[in-house]
C-alpha cells in the first residue's frame, strides 16, 4: 500500500523518552512522564485537570462512572459515531438513546437532543466527529437548564477549538484518545479532562483500583485498573512538543484535498468560529457512486480508504431507529489518507484517481 489511511509520525524524542523509561526501569504506571503528559494537556487546552488512562474507550467509561451514571439512566448520544461512545453507556447498564445528526455538520444537534430528553436523561454525549465539535454553547446552556451533564467524546479533536476554546475544556467532562491514528498518539492511550474538582478526585481514585487516600491496599470504592503506562506517556510528551506543527500540516492537507475535489464531493461543513483538528479528511460521495467499488479501485492504485462508521443502531445489540441523516451519511462517506507527512503532489495523485473513477462511473 503506497498510501495507507494513516501513518503515525515517530521521531527522535519519542525514542529518547521511551529509552529513558527503560533505562530507569519505570515502565509501568509510575514515572515522571505520566504527570508530565497530563500537565502538557492541561496547559495546551487550558483545562484545570487532565487524567491519563490507557485508552480512549476506558476514558469514556470512567467519565460516565464518575458523573454517577446508573443502570436504566438514559444517555443521549449521536447515532453517527464510533461504537465506543455507545458501548461505554452499556458497560454501566444505562440506556443509549441514539439521535440523528445534522446532514451538513454530521454532528448532534440541539433540536434532536430536545426531542429525546425525558425525566430519565442523565447525560448527553456529544462527539466531535472527525475532529469537529458541534454547537457547544447552545447544548451546554440547554443541558445546564435541565440539570443534565454533558460529556464530550473529543477522541478525535485534540487541537480543535470552538469560539476560541479548546475541546476538552468546554463540556462538564471530556475525553481524548491517543490511538495510533490520532493527531497525538501514545500507541494506545486516553485522557479525561474536566474543570470539576470532585470529578478529578474520583477519576484519579477510580482509575487506580479505588485505592483509599491514605491506607495502602485498602479499597473503599469499586475501581478499575485504567492507568496509563510511563512508556505510553513518554511517547505522548514527545508528540505534544510539535502538536502545532502537526495541526498546521493537517490543515494544509485538508486545503489541498478541497482544492482538488471541490464540487465533486461534499465536505463536512465547518462554521467559521470552529477550528477542526482535521483528524481525518472525509467527504460524501455522489449518491450514484457505489462507495465500495470506488474503494476497491483505490486499492488497485495503492491507496487505502475507509468507509464512514456504521450507524450505531445497525449493530445487533442496539435498538433500531430511523435516523435518516445518519443512514445517508454513513452510506456515502469515505475517508482518505490523512497523515501529515503527505506532500501536495501525493494529494494530487490520490485525488486524480478519485476524479478518474468519478468521470468513468458518474
- Say which residues have a Cβ less than 8 Å from residue 113's Cβ, sequence separation at least 6: 76, 99, 124, 139, 142
Q: What is the pLDDT of residues 99-158, one digit of tens each?
A: 999 999 999 999 999 999 999 999 999 999 999 999 999 999 999 999 999 999 999 999
pLDDT band of residue 246 (cuts 50, 70, 90) is very high
| Pick from 101, 94, 60: nearest CA to 79 | 101
Answer for the pair 185, 239: CB distance below 8 angstroms, yes or no: yes
Answer for the pair 177, 189: CB distance below 8 angstroms, yes or no: yes
d(CA 107, CA 131): 11
Is 242 buried (19+), middle (13-18) or exposed (0-12) by CB count in 10 A? middle
Q: Which percentage of the chain shows pLDDT scores above 90? A: 99
pLDDT band of residue 1 (cuts 50, 70, 90) is confident
- 362 pLDDT more than 90: no
Secondary structure of the chain: what % helix, strand, coil (to 5)? 40, 20, 40
Pairing outcome for strands 190-194 and 49-53? antiparallel
- 228 pLDDT more than 90: yes
Report H helices in the chain: 12-24, 32-45, 56-66, 83-91, 110-116, 136-146, 197-206, 230-240, 243-261, 291-300, 324-332, 344-361
End-to-end CA distance of the chain: 26
Q: What is the pLDDT of residues 254-264, one digit of tens each?
A: 999 999 999 99
Measured between alpha carbons, how far is residue 215 from residues 125, 201, 209 in Å?
A: 35, 16, 13
Pairing outcome for strands 173-177 and 190-194? antiparallel
- Say which residues have a Cβ less than 8 Å from residue 97's Cβ, sequence separation at least 6: 74, 75, 76, 77, 116, 121
Helix (H/G/I), strand (E/B), else coil: 208: strand
Average pLDDT of the segment spanning 154-180: 98
Is 228 buried (19+), middle (13-18) or exposed (0-12) by CB count in 10 A? buried
Average pLDDT of the segment spanning 301-327: 97
Answer for the pair 160, 176: CB distance below 8 angstroms, yes or no: no
Q: What is the pLDDT of residues 38-49, one digit of tens each?
A: 999 999 999 999
Average pLDDT of the segment spanning 171-181: 98
d(CA 140, CA 121): 15
Amino acid at each position: 500500500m503506497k498510501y495507507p489511511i494513516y501513518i503515525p509520525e515517530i521521531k527522535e524524542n519519542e525514542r529518547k523518552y521511551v529509552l529513558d523509561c527503560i533505562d530507569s526501569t519505570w515502565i509501568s504506571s509510575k514515572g515522571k512522564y505520566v504527570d508530565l503528559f497530563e500537565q502538557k494537556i492541561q496547559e495546551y487546552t487550558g483545562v484545570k485537570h487532565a487524567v491519563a488512562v490507557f485508552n480512549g474507550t476506558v476514558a469514556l467509561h470512567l467519565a460516565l462512572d464518575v458523573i454517577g451514571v446508573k443502570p436504566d439512566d438514559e444517555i443521549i448520544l449521536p447515532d453517527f459515531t464510533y461504537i465506543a461512545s455507545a458501548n461505554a453507556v452499556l458497560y454501566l447498564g444505562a440506556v443509549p438513546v441514539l439521535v440523528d445528526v445534522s446532514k451538513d455538520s454530521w454532528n448532534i444537534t440541539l433540536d434532536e437532543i430536545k426531542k429525546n430528553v425525558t425525566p430519565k436523561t442523565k447525560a448527553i454525549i456529544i462527539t466531535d466527529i472527525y475532529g469537529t465539535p458541534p454547537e457547544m454553547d447552545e447544548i451546554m446552556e440547554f443541558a445546564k437548564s435541565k440539570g443534565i451533564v454533558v460529556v464530550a467524546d473529543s477522541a478525535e479533536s485534540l487541537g480543535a477549538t470552538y469560539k476560541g476554546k479548546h475541546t476538552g475544556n468546554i463540556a462538564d467532562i471530556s475525553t481524548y484518545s491517543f490511538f495510533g491514528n490520532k493527531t497525538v498518539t501514545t500507541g494506545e492511550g486516553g485522557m479525561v479532562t474536566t474543570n470539576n474538582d470532585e470529578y478529578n478526585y474520583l477519576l484519579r481514585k477510580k482509575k487506580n483500583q479505588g485505592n483509599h487516600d491514605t491506607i495502602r491496599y485498602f479499597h473503599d470504592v469499586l475501581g478499575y485498573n485504567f492507568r496509563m503506562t510511563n512508556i505510553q506517556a513518554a511517547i505522548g510528551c514527545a508528540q505534544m512538543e510539535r502538536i502545532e506543527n502537526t495541526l498546521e500540516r493537517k490543515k494544509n492537507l485538508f486545503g489541498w484535498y478541497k482544492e482538488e475535489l471541490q464540487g465533486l464531493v461534499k465536505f463536512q461543513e465547518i462554521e467559521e468560529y470552529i477550528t477542526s483538528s482535521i483528524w481525518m479528511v472525509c467527504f460524501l460521495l455522489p449518491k450514484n457512486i457505489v462507495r465500495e467499488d470506488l474503494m476497491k479501485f483505490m486499492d488497485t492504485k495503492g491507496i487505502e480508504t475507509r468507509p464512514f462508521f456504521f450507524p450505531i443502531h445497525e449493530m445487533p445489540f442496539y435498538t433500531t431507529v430511523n435516523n435518516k441523516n445518519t443512514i445517508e451519511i454513513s452510506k456515502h462517506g469515505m475517508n482518505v489518507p490523512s497523515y501529515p507527512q503527505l506532500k501536495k503532489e501525493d494529494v494530487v495523485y490520490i485525488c486524480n484517481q478519485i476524479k478518474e473513477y468519478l468521470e468513468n462511473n458518474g
